[in-house]
Each structure stands twice: as structure tokens, then as C-alpha cells.
Structure 1
Amino acid sequence: MSEYKNLLAHYDQDNDIKKQGLVDHLFEVSKRAKDIGSLVNLKSLCELVGLLHDLGKNSDLFQLYIKGEYSGKVNHSSAGAKILEYIEEKSRNVYNIDKLLKNEKVKIRVWHLYKEILQYPILAHHGLYDIIDNNFDYHTEIRLEYDKNGEYDFQGKGLNFFIFLNKEYKVISGKSIYDLYYEGFIEFIKIYKKLKKMASRLDDKLCKKKALNFYYGALVRLLLSILKDADIYDSSNYYRKNKDKVYSKDELNVIWKQMQDAVEDLYGRFNNKLNKSELDRVRTNLANEIHRFSQNHNYGVYKLSMPVGSGKTYASLRYAIANSVKFNKSRVFYCTAFLSVLEQNASLIKRVLGDKYVLEHHSNIVENFEENGDEEDEKEYLIYEYLKESWESPVVLTTIVQFSNTLFKDKSSNIRRFAKLINSVIIMDEVQSLPTKVIYNFNLMTNFLTNIMNCNILHCTATQPNLDNKVALQYPCFYGDHSHKSFIIDSIQNAQIFDRVDYYNLLGEDLNTVLSTEEIVSHIKRQLKNEMSVLIVLNTKKAVSNIYNGLLEDSEVQNLDSEIIYLTTNQCPKHRLEIIETMKQRLENLRNGKGQRKLICVSTKLVEAGVDIDFDLVYRSLAGIDSIIQCGGRCNREGKKFSKGKLFIFEYEKESLKYLPDLEKQKIAAKSALRILTRKRLMDTKINIEKACDYYFTKLFSNEAVESKYLEYPINKEETVFNLLTTNPNGVTYYKNKNNKKPSFRLRQAFKTAAIHFDLIKEDTINVIVPYKNNELIESLYDAIDSNNYSDIKVLLKQLQPYTIAIRRLDEYGRYVSKELDDEICILSQEAYDEKVGLSKGELQLLIC
């Protein structure tokens, strides 16, 4: 048996000191997986998966491969899943499973489902796969038959190694792996009943079935994520002196208390402020009400509906930190749809909490290493996984795109991060910006996060999309916890103080009037005669460019002595934030009567929500009602204007939404909502737009439900992501037709295909570091890459996050980009970036996302 102790899990051919024994690796991974799993009452399941995941590395073929003595493909993940067949068979009688099932009132299929749910994470820990594959075969079965050609000796050496491992495990734990399998099943029965109860809250029988299967899939992803996190951590740190930081519960308690002191100090300064306005008092009272709520609710999803300008950012931060202190949370996430909002609010949050324990994660600077089952280069895989951001920090500030990738995408880093959501507080800012097509997947995953992963989630916005609307939605979000209380603030008694803007319609009586560039510029000029600042928000970059040029070329605008700002994603986050900060100061001075030079900003929707800017006038090209109201929050924000601010809604003739179907659908629903407001002549007249918001979302969701399966995220006319993640009806039909039998297996999802097609924003992009006042950082990165100093590379990549831009994967940008670390890191050349406009090469400007 001593030869088993010499088996290797990892080995660096360039440095034979860097090696790890297989048994040590399996025990280390199982221990870390157990610790993570204990947070969600799955410690035995996770320990078992960790213990068996690399069982196949005992094969002669793998041992030759890892030493560089064999260069072919090696399967090392199937053995651990195959041994579960053996364990299941042996355990059923030993532990009297039939009696247990009878006592628990569950059927034998739950016993078999348990095994399938354990097998998938082991088989997929180096890459997702579709359970019913493209050939309409049961792919799990194919993977389990990996040894049928005689390349692998599972029945001999494989089983003998398992017997040895079981003996070693008994010495360490005092129990057998079979005991662990049984204990895991006890845990599984409890979680199975919870999942079934969650699905039973739906009315329709088919909906219940689909929801239950979705929850099975989410559980599989959770187990896979825990396994990958434990595996990658041990594999990339076993030989390092400075290991990746993992925060203990005691350390987190200290950090949360420090952060709470900082937040309460901030609110103490608010309370002690001299000459407080009525708005200041209302903001503080709202924040206090929200804080009280945080002390009574450990998990659940809640609506935080606060008007624009009511102090939502600080109030939600206070909620998150106070809840973390009270309920020993593991992490706080702040997620928002707009980079501009993230950039601004990240700055505010860091000012309060400091930088040390806060991660700002916009994008993946290190390109995702392509996994391919068991065929990846083990060494390269571990290097790139080590460099990627794993969301270990106590506070993570990120985008809804990155967050959605964590929930649904197939890349290793995305799957690994999913486990970091366990026992966390998640602030979803501007939740109304979620694309309609992802609603069903998001709603069910939110239900799983709160009920199974013990998350406390805030849906923050001034314009709630009512994701619990059972009239329009077959798969609603279950707000609240056991109390079913959905709103943190039931009503806002001081709404009048937030009534600072009047909305005007430029769409005409029939809502079909379309304005030219000249007509829009002319209207702006008339309004600017009596005002000092104006913001124009459009739906496309081309439209922004047209209006911007129209203003620049107009002689009367030039005579107004005005500054015209063109704000785009052509600038990196750091650059853009500086522009916004400068603009904010200019606007504040104008509001206080300092300066006579008028300010005009033309922008895409990147400034429509969450950015603390205060214009006299706002123009918004027709979009969703929520977008229009959010834009209203950029107008007379502090209520310091002598008269109300004005927002004009218009439709622009040169703005095509041909390639933006979501926006087109929102426009249609918005027109329907506007029609209910009044039937009198509407041209250039005031409208009460807030009344249209609830109707707008109901109309938007209902249109999608009637029109197609759009809410299920359609891939083509026949298939949706939602179908693939639930019962996979098309795959099952094809399987039955090919094999002349119904599938006997319970899990049928096409996880890989669903993950490939799920994109919150459908862009094939690459992230590039740009040179903007960061030459020293970039030079340090080059030096670290040259010396293969991966610890320094990781630190520098974190510091360079705010200096990245996503551009489409086209060949034209190649000559301006330096590719480093085997093309995994891309750095833009200085000549292609201008300190005023950002990307300065015409062809690159066309590529920017």
C-alpha cells in the first residue's frame, strides 16, 4: 500500500520541489470543501465530492502524464464519479435506505437523484457538459464507461486505491467513506424537501416541475463551485509561502465591526450637520428605518424602493454592514448595471470603508483559459486560475454582468465565484435594468440564493420592476423571508420633497412625432436661454455623435459660450470617473451662481441612473419608463433650483434600434403606458409619468409572455436557456426517438449549451488595459511578467482594474495591443489612447462596447 502514498496530484517538471501527493490533495480539498459546505448545511456532500474528485489520478497513465512521460489525453475525473455507483450499491442495504425513505416519505428516485447530483460536479470539475449531448446520448453514462477500452484499470487498481483511501479516511475521521455517503444523503433529503417546497409555491403543474429541475441544477452548480474553489485553492497554493488570503469567521467579525464603526461615524456626521435641510432630515430618517430592518432579517430578498436623491447608496451600504455584523455574514456584494454608477459608488464606498478589504471588479483582465474536459494543460490551467479574481475579499463591488456570469456562465472563474455568494448580503442596484429575457432565470436563481445559500438580497431602485408580479410572470421572485414582508420601506411619507422635476412630452398627440437633429438642437437652444445646464441622453452611440456634432456646429450654441461634453465608454472607468467628477463640480458651481459658462453633456444611458449629477434640463430619447424616471434623477437632484427642473421625452429620427430589440420592446411598452396618462393634446405638455411605471412593467412582461418565450431567454425558435436548465424537453424528445425509451436518469439539463448562450449583454469582447496616468503600474506589470512573478502580477492586475476597456474581438485592433503571458493579458499602446477622448484611433472607436 505504500506505493499509493507516492502517487502525485501535482508536479512541476521545471522544479521537482513543487509536487503534491494525491492523498494529501484529496484530503486537503475535502477539508476545505467541507468547511464551505457547512455554511449551507451540506458539509458531508461537499467533503465527499472533494475526497473523490481526483480519484482517477491514481492511474498509471496520469502518473506518466504529470511527469511529462506521456503527452496524450488523460481522463482523471470519471473514476471518482464511477466509484459512486459502487458506493451506492453497497450502502443501500447496509444503511437500510428503503426504511429511511419510507420514514421520510420520499421515493426511491430521490436516492438515485442524490447519486447523480454528486456525480456531475466530479465529472465536470474541469468543464461543464450537457447531460443529453449533441448526439442525443446520456453523456454521463459515456463518461462513466471511460475504462471499457482497457486503457484504465478501474476494477483493479482503481478499486484498490479507493479501498486504501477509505482506510486512510477512517484513521483520520473515525468513519468510512460509506458513512460519509449516508450522512450526505441525510443532508440531501432535507435540501430536497426545501427545493420541493419552493417549487410548490407556483400554481401550474408544469411550472412546478420546471422550477424544481431548475433548483436541482442550481444545487449542482453550487456543489461544483465549492469543489472548484477548494480544488483550485489547494492546487495553486500548496507550494506557496504566501498563500491566497482566506478570512476566518473571527477575522470577518472584526472587519465588519470596523466597517460598522466607519459607517455609523458617517451617519453621526450627517446627524450633527449644521443647518440641515428638510431633505437631509428625510434621508436620515429613511436610513434609520432601513437599518432597523437589517437587524431582523437574516436571509430573503427585499424591495428597497427609494426615490432618486434619497440617499440610497449610503443607506443600502449601512444595511449591508449592519446585517453582516448581526448575522455573521461572509461577504457583501454591491452590483449595478452601469459602469458609471459602479465607478462613482465604488469611490464613495471606499471613502467610507477604506481600500484594504474592498475589491472593485469590472472585468476579467486575464482572459479565460479554455477548459476542455480532462484535456487541459494542468500547469497552465492552475497559473491562470491563480491570477483570476476569485472574489475572496469581504466587500466586492461589481457589475450585474459579472454577477450574472457567476450565476450562469461556463468559465471556470465564473463557476468558482458562485460559492462566494454563500451567506452574503447582495445589493442589486438599479435592478430594473435587467434585460427582460433573463427574468425567469434570475427569479428562480434568486429564490435559490435566498432559501438555500442564505443570502440577504436588496433590489434597489426608484422604479421597481415588480418581479413578483404573478399576473404577468409564471416564475415570480419570492420576496421576503418566512414573514413574506417584501418591502423594507412600506411607504414614503415624504414623497413630496422628492417631487423636483416636471416631465414634458415632445412625442405629439398620437405619440408618433419624430424630431430631426435640427429640431432637437433648436428646442435645446430655446430652453438654454433661461437655464445654465442641460443633459441629453440617447440610446445609441451613433445618435450621441449626431447630436453632439449638431450642437458643435450650430453657431447660436457657439455664441452661448458653452462647454460641450461627450461622455462615452471610449474612456476607461478611471478616466470617465474623472470627467464626471469635474462635471459635478462645474454643475455645483453653476447651481450656486458661480460662473456663467453653460454646460451641455451628450451621453448614452451610462449616466441615467445612480450618477450624482444635477442639471437644470434633461432630454431623454424615448426608452423604458424606468429609464426616463431614472434620468429625471439627474435633474434638479438636490432640489436647490428655484423652479422645478424639466425633462423632455422625444423620439429621434436618426436613432435606429434595429440591432437593439430589447430597447425597441421597451419603447413599445412605454408608448402604451404613456397613452393611459391622458387623452388630451400632449405636445410639449406636462405629464405625470410615475403613474405609468407599474403599468409599463406589467405591459412589458405581458407582451413578452404572449409574443414568445422571450422571458425564458430564447436561443432560437425552438430552444430557450430556461428549457435547457430545467427539464430539457427537446433533448428528452430526441433521446427518446434515438433510443426508443424514456430516460431513466433524473438530471437531464444541457448545462454547457445553456451557459454558452447566456449573455446578459451579447458582446464578443476582450478586455484591454489602457495607458491613462498609470505608466508606473504598467511598467511594473511588464517587469513582473518578465520575471514570472505571479504573486506580483495578481496584485498589479487588481490595481489595474479601473484602467480597462472591453473591445470587440476583431483583428483590426491588433497593431495597437501588446499581448502578454501567452496572450492572456492585453495592453493598449500609448498612441491609441488620448487623455481627453480616450480611444483615439478611429477603427478602435468603432470597436468599443
Structure 2
Amino acid sequence: MDFIAHIRNSDKQVQSVDEHLDNVAQISSQFGKKLNLSHLAAIAGLLHDMGKYSNEFKEYIIEVVDNPENPPKRGSVDHSTAGGKWLYEKFYKEDQSPTKRIIVEMLVNIILSHHSGLRDFLTPNASSDVLRRVIDKQLDNYAEVQEFFEESTKRLEEIEGKLDVAEKELIKLLKENNTIHPLKALTFLTMILFSCLIDADRLDTMSFEDNVKLNLHQNNNELFEQYYKKLIQHIEVLQKNGQVNRINALRSEMSSQCEEHAYKPSGIYTLSIPTGGGKTLASLRYALKHAIKYKKDRIIYVVPFTTIIEQNAQEVREILEDDINILEHHSNIIQDDRITHNKEQPDNYVKNKSVTLAKDNWDSPIIFTTMVQYLNTFYSSGTRNIRRLHNLSNAVIIFDEVQALPIHCVSLFNESLNFLKYIANSSILLCTATQPALDKVKHNIQTIDGEIVQDLDEVNQNFKRVEIKDKTTPNGWDTETLASFVRDTLNRENNVLVILNTKTVVRDLYQTLKEKDTDAYVFHLSTSMCAKHRQETLGAVRKALEQGEKVICLSTQLIEAGVDISFNSVIRSLAGLDSIAQAAGRCNRHGDYDCKNVYIINHREEVLNKLKAIKVGAEITQKILKDIGSEKLLSSEVMAFYFEEYFTKMNLELDYHIPDLSDSLYNLITTNAKYKIHYENYHNKKFPLNLATSYDTVGKYFNVIDDHSTSVLVPYGAGKELIADLNEDLSIKQMSTLFKQLQPYLINVYQHELDGLSKDNNLIPLFNGKVLVLRENAYDQFFGLMVEGEGQMDTSFI
């Protein structure tokens, strides 16, 4: 009997289970080859849909297609447990080697979880989701599946043979990379193999549904060669046309040093170019040359804020003359599989198939994304984010403004880098003018292989373009007093940038200045605005500055990290010393004047109770100002002292501690020793598995930003028409392209804001809530998101 894996919507053609399993095994194996684990990855592909070898599933999928308006509940026939259950029963024996037992544990979890996200080997309540599924769960169709599969002698011999080779592969990998503790290595290997399977499964299903042939033999070396030539031509033009001064000479020298360093082996390197030193082009020069020499698959830029994505991506697109192969990934348009905002209406898989399968897997040659998305790829729940993980292997990964890494994610971030360096063969650049000494914390980057910039102290001295002025007062500043100081500064300097710590005080200052009839352009920037809105606003700011207009720009810290803009003066609300240094990088950026002033104020109306990292950083900076003054505030010695103090005070935060669990996410994702002891005390026996990682529990609690946020599309500018296109009958390929085009029209909405929008009916759920769209009245031309629904849209001012 021919068993069915999929039925195509357009012409009702059938893909057999045999064909799907073979395809997925082949694709997954190709992905796993980058880690030298191709056989292990292939087994996952061969077994993941073993549960579809049954009449029950065949009847279910035919009913889904024949009755699209009222299909049976999705997942009502469990097809993901059978493969894991069979593998466990067949090969998890006492007489098997420890390595083979570990392989079975990894594969069982990967197979069981391919529609949900990795399960807990060990849960907080002293049980195992994995063992419960393979031992306790009863499957009505399991005997039929088991019988059919074991009658296929060829398939059985294929899996047995691959298991033997997989064992040798894993032993060799762990021996060659013994810098990482084996349990940590296995934790991350399970994750990346899961990623190989998820992406392979989705790609084959997409290929069948769209009736197109997959091209997975992508070699970007030739493309990188073309890019490199264009970049060098661009740099030569800049040098020819630029002013002959010390700043440009240093930029040129540091750019050359990046190229020289590209010949060194893959590793973790720091690139401490001062603000305004040409970091984007210098790091791209390193990345392209290193990718060409060591045949890396892609280049990935990871930045702290979406503000930098659009700026840097656009700059790189123009230099490389390529709009197709450079991806901006701001956030996930599609909500995670577990989340629905329209629970009354069941998910119509047939109608929503193009949304579910749309390609979102970071397979582009050059990718710009955020730290949030990078960390979610490792640690968030579900399958959508982790699908991308395998594409982080054999890559050049550039972390721009790495000092902005959230404090509670430090240990998890460091472990991800250790894995990418030692196991996944990636090369990593940590770029910032204010290196946060991530090799000095308890759970550290094990080895930083060197700093690219030579004579760093001399370079920093030559790049000095500002004086720091301490304007903090015992009682702090209020909005009215600050507004007066802004106007006075404007009269002296003609333009001023004001950076405050919260969106509320930025908005209050904006309204106060507008009410005073200030004879200047007043601009507002915050993360409540979508990327396209911020990009256009920054464009308007730059244009006004170039024309010599009077300009006031008010912003949260998003403007600090990497935004290429220069003001004659900056006012910065008290914050961490790294933030002060980054704010200073927006003042006299190109050295047009000998020195300009950066003023530090303390705003008493800022509420920082929920912003502990900013609050602690501000307290340390204030202490330094009191002890030594502001003259040497930005020196490398003071910066090193600041980070030592900061990490000491925030020590309990570094591992992402969860009070509800009485443990940290770092422990749960690595050795999980505390839960093992709890299990053994509770059951009075040893935990029966070698692996104990609590993947699902980590995913439930993990948020890069403390308050959970959800991505929402906004009808700003051209985004309105693109959102309308979502209602068209699109193929998976067309939907994938549309999702890329919609990236700049996303905002991240916190849960309390989401609740307010839902209550007032200001959210439109599409595709059963998988995609959320903001109503026009909830978005404002100046402020962005308006939860109260009082927004006004008129972009003609830009």
C-alpha cells in the first residue's frame, strides 16, 4: 500500500512517505555534513515521519484535503512519536556502547519534537518528557507502523549501518573538540541537528507543495570574490576623495589590518575600532576575505537594535550593488506554532499552508539580524527560530556593538560562541569601541584569539573628538529644566542630540519642546516606531543637518549603537559608561572640530525600576564621576574598571536566574546537575538517561528582552500595500518573498501593550492569528505605536 506524506493543494498530487523520508534524510545529511555528522542527521530524516506509515494517517490527510473548510483537528493523528519510540525500543539497550545510547537519546528527542520544539530530557518536576513519550504514550497505529517498517529489510539495514558510522563520527568530533565539556557539546549538537531536520523537512515539503526543484548546492565563494572587488574599489574611491587628516589615515590603516587578520585561522577575535572609525566596512573587508580563504558559507551581522540593520544593510547593498542576496531579518512575522491570537477558530492548515511553510531560514549569503534573533535561534521555544541554527555553522559572524548584550544573557551568549568556534567551524568578530571583557566572567568565552587593531591606546587618543561635561545635580533634572538647557545648547551649537533612558521621558520632552514653539526641527526616535519609519526619520535628520538647519533630535538609547550620524553637541542621561561612550560617538563624529561637548545629566523623572542593568550602570558611572571626575572618563583603564565593577554587581544576573525554578537557564541548558539530584532523591534511583537538558523549560522562560514581546506589522507607508498583499492567494515562494519585504514594517509589542490593543480591537489577526497587523489609528506619524488608538498618520513631513 502507498502511504501518503503530503497532498499538494493545487493539483492533489501525492508525495509518498518513502519519497519524503528519503528527501529529508538527504537534505538533513547535507546540512549535518558541515559538522561532520551527516549520518546522524540522515537518521533523523529517515525516521521523523515514520508514524505516517499507517492507514489512520492516510485517512486523516485525505480528509484534510477533501474537507478544507472543516478539516479534522491538526495533529489529531500523532505521527511524530512512532519514529522515536521505535528507535528507543530497538537500540536503547544495556549492551549498547555509551556513545550509541547517547546518539539514540539525541535522535529520539529530535524526532519526537519536530512539530513542537525540543522536549525536556528532565523536567523541573522530576520527570522526563522524552521518556514519557516513548514509554508511556499509547499509539493506536503503532503496531501497524512497527510491522510495516520492520518488514522493510532494506530500511532497517540502512539505519543500522548509519548508526554505526554515526557513532564513529560523534566520537571523533568530541575527541577533536575536547575544549568544551562533552555534556555542553552534546546539548548544542542536539540543537543544531534538530535544526538540520526542521529545515530539511520544511524545505522538502515546500518544494513539493510549490512543485519546484530545490537547489541546495549553494557555493557563495564566487559571489564573495565579486563582492570583495567592489568593496576594495569603493574603499579606494573613499581614500582618493577623502580629506587628508589623521582620522581618515587611521581608518585606512585599521581597514588594512582587518584584511591582514583575515588570513588567520577561524576563531574569536575582537575588533575595537573607535566610534566613527569605519567599523562596518573594515569588518566586511575581514569577513569577505576570510570567507573566500576558508570557504565559509555566509556572513552574518548581528546588531543590538534594528536601527542599525537598515542603515548598515543599505550601505552594504549600495557598495556591493546587490539587492537580492542581502537579507534584513528584524523579527519573526509569523508567530510561534504554539501561539494563536484567534483561539475560537481552529487552524486551517490547508488554507494557511503557504504561511506555515514560507522560507525563513537564513540561507542568504549576507544576513543582517539582531541579537534578539540570534539568541532566539539557540534558546527560544518552538521550531521557527531554531530552524536557522545550522546556518550559523561554517560562517563568519560579526557581532556589532556587542557591549549592548543584555546582562542576563551573558553566560548563554558565551556558551553559544564557544560552540560555534570549537564545534561549528565559524569565525567570530566582537566589534565595539567598548569591549565588555566577556572572557573575564565566570562562564566565559574560553579563548579570545586576539585584537585586530594594533596600538589601540594610541588610536583611541587620536580619535578623541569630545569633552565630557558632568552636569548631574543632587536632585536631578526635570523635563522643563532640561527643555530650557536643550534650547540654550541649540542656540550655541545649532544642533543637539538628546538621549534619555525611557520612551516616556523622551515623549514628554518632545511635547514640551514642541509646545514652546522652538524655531528648530524637532525629531523623535524610539523602538515604538517600525524600522522603515526610523530609517526615514533619520534620513530627514541627516538632511536637515547637512543643510545647516537648527535640529533637535530626541531618542532612546537605540541611536547610540552604530548609527552613522553626527551632532555638534550631545546630552546624555546618566547610564552605564559604555552607553556614555557610545553616545559620545554621535558627537563630532568625523572630527570636523577640535572638540565638542557631551553633557551628562540625571533625569529625575526616569523610572528605572524595571531597567536594572541601566540603573546599576548609571550608579557605577556616577561613582566614577565623583571619584575621578569626567576628564578621563572614556579611557581604556576606566572602561576596564567599569566593566569589572558592573559584572561583579550583576553577577547573579549573568546566568539568567529564574526564581520560579530556583535555578538558572544556564544550568538547565548545560549540566542540569540540580535537577538530576532532585530526580534521584525523589525517585530513589539514578536518572536513566545520559542527557538531562531541559530544552522546553528553557524555551518557555527565555526572553532576550525581559518583558515578552510579540512582532506586529504596521500599516506605515508602503507597508500598508504589502500587508494588503497578504490576502492574495500566494505560493510559498511568493509568501517567502513578501515576508522579506515586510521586515522593515514590524514593531515588537510588549504583553501589556498587546493586551490593550486586543481589548480595543486595534489588532487584526491574519491566518488564524499567526500574523498580527496593527490598525492605522494605533500608529502615529511622530511616536509610532499608540496603544490608546489616538495615532495620526501623515508621512508627508518626512
Fold shared, TM-score > 0.5 on shorter chain: yes
2:68 alignment counterpart: none
Q: What is the rounded CA distance, in whole Å, between the counterparts of 2:435 and 2:240 in structure 1? A: 32
Q: What is the rounded CA distance, in whole Å, between the counterparts of 1:719 and 1:494 in structure 2? A: 44
Tell me whether 1:48 sits opposite 2:51 in the alignment.
no
Point out where structure 1 has 5 or more consecutive residues left out of the alignment: 98-107, 171-175, 200-211, 591-596
Shift of 1:770: 2.5
1:36 alignment counterpart: 31
- Paired residues for 1:566-645 under 5 Å: 566-590=524-548, 597-641=549-593, 643-645=594-596
2:406 alignment counterpart: 435
Tell me whether 1:667 sits opposite 2:627 in the alignment.
no
1:499 alignment counterpart: 464
SS of structure 1 residue aligned to 2:704: coil
- Paired residues for 1:84-99 under 5 Å: 84-85=87-88, 87-88=90-91
Q: What is the rounded CA distance, in whole Å, between the counterparts of 1:742 and 1:275 in structure 2? A: 71
1:158 alignment counterpart: 146
2:7 alignment counterpart: 11
1:593 alignment counterpart: none
Which of residues 305, 317, 338 is equivalent to 2:305?
338
Shift of 1:715: 4.7
- Paired residues for 1:334-483 under 5 Å: 334-353=301-320, 354-370=322-338, 379=350, 383-469=354-440, 473-480=441-448
Q: What is the rounded CA distance, in whole Å, between the counterparts of 2:404 and 2:377 in structure 1? A: 18
Q: What is the rounded CA distance, in whole Å, between the counterparts of 2:418 and 2:596 in structure 1? A: 40
1:193 alignment counterpart: 175
Tell me whether 1:311 sits opposite 2:278 in the alignment.
yes
Contact 1:309 1:633 in 2 (8 A): yes
Shift of 1:39: 1.1
SS of structure 1 residue aligned to 2:63: coil
Contact 1:505 1:686 in 2 (8 A): no
SS of structure 1 residue aligned to 2:468: strand
2:700 alignment counterpart: 756
Contact 1:567 1:576 in 2 (8 A): yes
Q: What is the rounded CA distance, in whole Å, between the counterparts of 2:13 and 2:724 in structure 1? A: 25
Q: Which amino acid aligns with 1:30?
A: A
Contact 2:497 2:569 in 1 (8 A): yes
Tell me whether 1:276 sits opposite 2:244 in the alignment.
yes
Shift of 1:619: 1.0
Contact 1:539 1:605 in 2 (8 A): yes
Tell me whether 1:652 sits opposite 2:652 in the alignment.
no
Q: What is the rounded CA distance, in whole Å, between the counterparts of 2:653 and 2:761 in structure 1? A: 43
Contact 2:124 2:661 in 1 (8 A): no
Q: What is the rounded CA distance, in whole Å, between the counterparts of 1:661 and 1:194 in structure 2? A: 41
SS of structure 2 residue aligned to 1:826: strand
Tell me whether 1:143 sits opposite 2:143 in the alignment.
no
Shift of 1:134: 5.5
2:67 alignment counterpart: none
Contact 1:562 1:600 in 2 (8 A): yes
Contact 2:781 2:791 in 1 (8 A): no
Contact 2:335 2:771 in 1 (8 A): yes
2:257 alignment counterpart: 289
1:205 alignment counterpart: none
Shift of 1:568: 2.3
2:110 alignment counterpart: 121
Shift of 1:650: 1.6
Shift of 1:520: 2.6
1:594 alignment counterpart: none
2:795 alignment counterpart: none
Q: What is the rounded CA distance, in whole Å, between the counterparts of 2:145 and 2:543 in structure 1? A: 72
Q: What is the rounded CA distance, in whole Å, between the counterparts of 1:825 and 1:325 in structure 2? A: 39
SS of structure 2 residue aligned to 1:446: helix
Shift of 1:376: 8.9
SS of structure 2 residue aligned to 1:38: helix
Shift of 1:57: 1.7
Q: In structure 2, do the counterparts of structure 1 residues 657 and 635 end up closer, same or farther at CA, with 3 Å as the change threshold? A: same
SS of structure 2 residue aligned to 1:724: helix
1:238 alignment counterpart: 208
Contact 1:366 1:388 in 2 (8 A): no
Point out where structure 2 has 5 or more consecutive residues left out of the alignment: 65-71, 341-345, 793-798
Q: In structure 2, do the counterparts of structure 1 residues 150 and 567 end up closer, same or farther at CA, with 3 Å as the change threshold? A: closer
Q: What is the rounded CA distance, in whole Å, between the counterparts of 2:790 and 2:109 in structure 1? A: 42
Q: What is the rounded CA distance, in whole Å, between the counterparts of 2:684 and 2:782 in structure 1? A: 66
Which of residues 534, 538, 554 is equivalent to 2:496?
534
Q: What is the rounded CA distance, in whole Å, between the counterparts of 2:536 and 2:402 in structure 1? A: 26
1:173 alignment counterpart: none
Tell me whether 1:823 sits opposite 2:765 in the alignment.
no
SS of structure 2 residue aligned to 1:10: strand
Q: What is the rounded CA distance, in whole Å, between the counterparts of 2:250 and 2:489 in structure 1? A: 32
Range with greater deviation from structure 2 (581-590 or 380-389): 380-389
Residue-pair matches, total: 771
1:81 alignment counterpart: 84
SS of structure 1 residue aligned to 2:655: helix
Range with greater deviation from structure 2 (766-775 or 305-314): 766-775
Shift of 1:224: 0.5
2:646 alignment counterpart: 700
SS of structure 1 residue aligned to 2:589: coil
Contact 2:99 2:167 in 1 (8 A): no
Q: In structure 2, do the counterparts of structure 1 residues 665 and 109 end up closer, same or farther at CA, with 3 Å as the change threshold? A: farther
Q: What is the rounded CA distance, in whole Å, between the counterparts of 2:620 and 2:139 in structure 1? A: 62
SS of structure 2 residue aligned to 1:24: helix
Q: What is the rounded CA distance, in whole Å, between the counterparts of 1:576 and 1:376 in structure 2? A: 35
Range with greater deviation from structure 2 (401-410 or 761-770): 761-770
Which of residues 547, 559, 566 is equivalent to 2:509?
547
Q: What is the rounded CA distance, in whole Å, between the counterparts of 2:121 and 2:254 in structure 1? A: 49
SS of structure 1 residue aligned to 2:424: coil
Shift of 1:30: 0.7
Q: What is the rounded CA distance, in whole Å, between the counterparts of 1:580 and 1:141 in structure 2? A: 54
SS of structure 1 residue aligned to 2:761: helix
Q: Which amino acid aligns with 2:460?
A: A
Contact 1:502 1:687 in 2 (8 A): no
Percent identity over the alignment is: 30
- Paired residues for 1:182-261 under 5 Å: 182-194=164-176, 196-199=178-181, 212-242=182-212, 246=216, 248-249=218-219, 252-261=220-229
1:742 alignment counterpart: 686
Shift of 1:731: 2.8
Q: What is the rounded CA distance, in whole Å, between the counterparts of 2:175 and 2:151 in structure 1? A: 33
Question: 1:652-694, CA deviations, whole angstroms, 9 ceiling, x for partnerless residues?
Answer: 1111101212222222333344455x2xxx5xx6453334211
Shift of 1:383: 3.6
Tell me whether 1:21 sits opposite 2:16 in the alignment.
yes
Q: What is the rounded CA distance, in whole Å, between the counterparts of 1:463 and 1:163 in structure 2? A: 63
Shift of 1:86: 5.1
Contact 1:566 1:602 in 2 (8 A): yes
Q: What is the rounded CA distance, in whole Å, between the counterparts of 1:49 and 1:77 in structure 2? A: 11
Range with greater deviation from structure 2 (534-543 or 62-71): 62-71
Shift of 1:775: 6.6
Q: What is the rounded CA distance, in whole Å, between the counterparts of 2:539 and 2:511 in structure 1? A: 24
